[in-house]
Structure 1
Amino acid sequence: MYKSWSFEVSGRRLAVMEWGDPDAVPVLALHGWLDNAATFMQLAPRLPAVRLIAIDLAGHGESGHRPAGTPYYIWDNIADVLAVADQLELERFSLLGHSMGAGVAMMLAACAPQRVARLFLIEGLAPLVYEARELPELMAEALARHKRMERRTLRPYETFEQGVAARINGRWPVSPEAARWLVERGLERCSGGWRWRSDPALMLPSVVRFSEAQVEAFLLRVRAPVELVLGTGGIDPARMQRLLPLLRDARLHVLAGNHHLHLEPGAAAEIATLIINSLREAGSH
């Protein structure tokens, strides 16, 4: 079982799902883009010796949205996660991240190496990058789309089950059980049926983006040991394998599964085992 709670960060609500003994080893968990904290429902019960604190990042799940007109930049999540750690009085903690959450975790570890003990990254290592020469044009296109779309409203689902079906058949399919976990935290009732709680502005492209050289600088600054898990049917591993040597201490694990392999029982059991073994190894030093 888990407990669900929230607190304020800079006047916004940040919602949390927490599992485990409050005195156990603390691990902050960060979900992927357009997911929410429930993405760790399969993994959390397999980590009995861990205090797992999964955060709904801004604009996702039950957390508040950023103010209207404020872009969603991946790096803004770093301050929010550190605020969570500070309110929990965690001077040092490990991070578990999936996809976008893995990128946030890596950047946080680079910015605050004294705070992060270990990194457990699933299907992600660093933010997306773009050729430097493309950045001015990409910024111009993003500004035009922001002006055009702003806070657009998505058409609601007539029934809750339609939302579940949509999540099952998304770009990265998940099981019916996993879809229900995500949708239960991701949907809310509205006058027309059921709508996503997530901020529609998350769908807009970033105005400012990273180049490869910038991301490499972050990777070179990470001091925490890294366990990177990739699925055989997940994202293209070529970039991850190329960037991995930039990390001081990193191990790659390739498991059967797609981009959301941590939501499948078999892969979740393997990921839990490597997390437990890594934390045990840290404790023995």
Structure 2
Amino acid sequence: MHSSWQFEVHGRRLAVMEWGDPQGMPVVALHGWLDNAASFTLLARHLPRIRLIALDLAGHGFSDHRAAGQPYYIWDNVADVQALLDELALDSVALLGHSMGAGVATLFAGAFPERVSRLLLLDGLTPLDYPAEQLPQQMAEALLKGTRLSRRSLRPYASFEQAVQARMNGRWPVSRAAACWLLERGLRQQPDGWVWRSDLALTRPSVVRLCEQQITAFVRRLTMPVLLVMAEQGIGMARVEPWLELMPSLELKVLAGGHHLHLEEEAAVRIAGWIGERLV
């Protein structure tokens, strides 16, 4: 069982799911791109003694979209995580992040290391970057592509089941159960069918990204214990290797599974065991 609640940041509603023991150690969980807080449903089942608090990042799940025309930059999520911790009156907390959520967690922990007791990262570590010298060209390409995408609209799914099948067979496949958890929070029904709740603007390319030197500055401030669990069939070790030696308290684990390994039963049991050993 889970509970749901919402709070406001500058007039925007952010939605939260909670599982576990309300008196247990709090862990704030941050999901990946185009997922939502339900991404942590399976892990929560194996962590009943922890208070797991999962945020729908802006534009995802039941959280409000950002203002029309406002880009979705990954660092804007850092302010929303800060607002959540303030709302919960938590001076320090363990952060659990998957994929893009892992990048948000790293940025937050680098900016506010005193507020993060431990990082628990799943198949992700840092935000995507642009080489500094390529930024002008990348900016031009992103703006042109973004203009084209802004004219696009997605055809609704005829049924919830059709959407489930599409999610199960997407770029990063998930089980039927996982697809249902994500879509119960990620879809809404309208007269002509089922459509995504997530903001279509999330699919536009980033006009600006951090460069490697900037990301390195954040990673160097991760002095807290870091558990990084990578998937054998996930984003690939090449995406994280440049930063591994910069974290003095890093534990690296590699598990069989896909990018959403925390939504696969065997991997989820292993991950929950490692988290429980370190927090309970």
Whether these two folds match at TM > 0.5 is yes
Which one is further off, 229-238 or 35-44? 229-238
Distance (whole Å) between structure 1 residues aligned to residue 277 and residue 41 of structure 2? 20
**What is the CA–CA distance in structure 1 between the aligned matches of 2:271 and 2:69, rounded to whole Å?**
38
Per the alignment, residue 100 of structure 2 pairs with: 100
* Alignment match, 1:253: 253
Give the stretch that moved more between structures: 137-146 or 180-189. Answer: 137-146
Matching residue of 2:66: 66
Counterparts of 2:221 and 2:10, CA distance in 1: 28
Distance 1:274 1:218 in 2: 25
Structure 1 residue 135 corresponds to structure 2 residue 135: yes
Determine if the alignment matches structure 1 residue 144 to structure 2 residue 178: no
Q: State how far apart, in whole Å, the 1-side matches of 2:33 and 2:85 are.
A: 21
* Corresponding residue of 1:205: 205
SS of 2:89's equivalent?
coil
- 1:38 equivalent in alignment to 2:33: no
Q: Secondary structure at the match of 2:232?
A: strand
- Aligned residue runs from structure 1 range 151-190, under 5 A: 152-190=152-190
Contact 1:69 1:150 in 2 (8 A): no
Relative to structure 2, which stretch is displaced further, 248-257 or 143-152? 143-152
> Hey, what's the Cα distance between the residues in 1 that align with 2:69 and 2:116?
32
What displacement does 1:74 show?
0.3
* Residue 151 (structure 1) shift: 6.5
Question: In the alignment, what sits opposite 1:236?
Answer: 236
Distance 1:46 1:233, change over 3 A: same
Letter in 2 for 1:142: A
- Tell me, what secondary structure is at the counterpart of 1:43? helix
Give the deviation of 1:190 after TM superposition: 1.3
Distance 1:76 1:151, change over 3 A: farther
Separation of aligned partners in 2, 1:151 and 1:105: 32
Structure 1 runs of 4+ aligned residues shifted over 4 Å read none
Q: How many Å apart are 1:147 and its aligned residue?
A: 3.0
Kindly indicate whether the alpha-carbon contact (under 8 Å) linking 1:151 and 1:200 is maintained by their aligned counterparts in 2: no
Secondary structure in structure 2 of the residue aligned to 1:42: helix
Partner of 1:21: 21
**What amino acid is aligned across from residue 229 of structure 2 in structure 1?**
V
Instruction: Give the 5 Å matches for 1:77-88.
Output: 77-88=77-88
C-alpha contact 1:109 1:223 (8 A) present in aligned 2: no
SS in 1 for 2:113: coil
Could you list the runs of 5+ residues in structure 1 that have no partner in the other structure?
281-285
**TM-score when normalising by structure 1:** 0.96
Q: Which amino acid aligns with 1:264?
A: E
Residues matched between the structures, number: 280
- Give the match's secondary structure for 1:70: coil
CA deviations 1:130-172 (Å, max 9, x no partner) are 2221110111111223333337421110111111000000001
C-alpha RMSD of matched pairs (Å): 1.1
Conserved 8 A contact 1:17-1:53: yes
Distance 1:39 1:97, change over 3 A: same
State whether residues 59 and 66 of structure 1, in contact with CA within 8 Å, keep that contact through their aligned partners in structure 2: yes
Q: Distance in 2 between matches of 1:258 and 1:206?
A: 25
- CA offset digits 1:93-112 (Å, max 9, x no partner): 11000000000001100000
CA distance in 2: counterparts of 1:15 and 1:207, whole angstroms: 27
Q: Does 1:274 align with 2:274?
A: yes
Asked if structure 2 preserves the Cα contact closer than 8 Å seen for 1:151 and 1:201, the reply is no
Task: Answer whether contact 1:168 1:174 (CA < 8 A) is retained.
Answer: yes
Cα-to-partner distance string for 1:18-65 (whole Å, 9 max, x where unaligned): 012222111000000000011101100111221100010000011100
CA deviations on 1:231-268 (whole Å, 9 max, x unpaired) are 11111112313311111210100111010110011100
Give yes or no for the alignment of 1:55 onto 2:55.
yes
Question: 1: CA distance between counterparts of 2:69 and 2:148?
Answer: 12
Partner SS for 1:62:
coil
How far apart are the structure 2 equivalents of 1:162 and 1:110? 41
Separation (CA, whole Å) in 1 of partners of 2:241 and 2:207: 28
The residue type paired with residue 185 of structure 1 is R
One-letter amino acid matched to 1:17: M
CA distance in 2, matches of 1:24, 1:10: 30
The DSSP-based 3-state class of the residue aligned with 2:42 is coil
Q: What SS class does the counterpart of residue 53 from structure 1 fall into?
A: strand
Structure 2: unaligned runs, 5 residues or longer: none
